[in-house]
């Protein structure tokens, strides 16, 4: 059975970052989006990123960033990948990839099968596709809302290699999600928190263990 890549997103403190690293997270994510309870400054993300260097891939989550922010993030943080979680077009994904010189992950919100039709256009430019639950229309956040989408919409084998599943995953549901979707990578944020923005080290460890022991 192939190894499943695990990303713990929205990390903001040394103890929770260490919990993710010690449990064997493959990717760690830092959110730079002021509306999010998981928001960290570029400087803070840089401190955490240096702590994780050589132990996991380091990802910054940005939402519809302009060129100046992309450049500032690259300089300040020390990154392995940029995650785009806004309304960026496929062409904008390509521009950010060129500007940053880094691999780019593009999040796509899913509510219906029509949303999955976007995947092919983005996959031509993004290094990785992340499927997340489409946020409610009145939601302030483009992701991290603790909601899942209908996994039955996914037909195994029809998505680009390395696609990542997100949206409402928890230590109790991730094994079932993997079995039903055939995903080889998963991302969690709110599903390992005691409250929005506050990660639970024990839940992080339990999530990764649930993936590894499936």
Task: Give the residue numbers marked as catalytic.
Answer: 9, 132
Cα–Cα distance between 89 and 122 in angstroms, integer?
8
Cβ contacts of residue 126 below 8 Å, gap of 6+?
84, 90, 93, 97, 104, 105, 106
DSSP annotation of 135 reads P
Cβ contacts of residue 5 below 8 Å, gap of 6+?
26, 27, 162, 164, 184, 185, 186
Instruction: Select from 177, 190, 104 the least CA-distant residue to 145.
Output: 190
């Amino acid at each position: 059975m192939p190894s499943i890549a695990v990303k713990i997103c929205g990390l903001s403190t040394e103890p929770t970052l260490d919990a993710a690293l010690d449990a064997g997270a493959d990717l760690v994510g830092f959110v730079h989006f002021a509306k999010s309870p998981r928001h960290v400054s570029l400087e803070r993300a840089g401190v955490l990123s240096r702590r994780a260097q050589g132990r996991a891939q380091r990802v910054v989550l940005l939402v519809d960033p302009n060129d100046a922010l992309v450049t500032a993030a690259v300089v300040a943080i020390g990154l392995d990948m940029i995650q785009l979680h806004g309304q960026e077009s496929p062409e904008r994904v390509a521009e950010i990839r060129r500007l940053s010189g880094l691999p780019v992950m593009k999040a796509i919100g899913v509510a219906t099968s029509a949303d999955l039709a976007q995947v092919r256009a983005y996959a031509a430019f993004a290094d990785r596709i992340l499927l997340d639950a489409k946020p409610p229309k009145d939601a302030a956040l483009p992701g991290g809302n603790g909601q899942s989408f209908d996994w039955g919409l996914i037909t195994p084998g029809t998505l680009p290699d390395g696609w990542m599943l997100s949206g409402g995953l928890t230590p109790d549901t991730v094994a079932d999600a993997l079995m039903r979707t055939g995903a080889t990578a998963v991302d969690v944020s709110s599903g390992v928190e005691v409250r929005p923005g506050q990660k639970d080290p024990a839940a992080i460890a339990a999530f990764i263990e649930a993936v590894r022991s499936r």
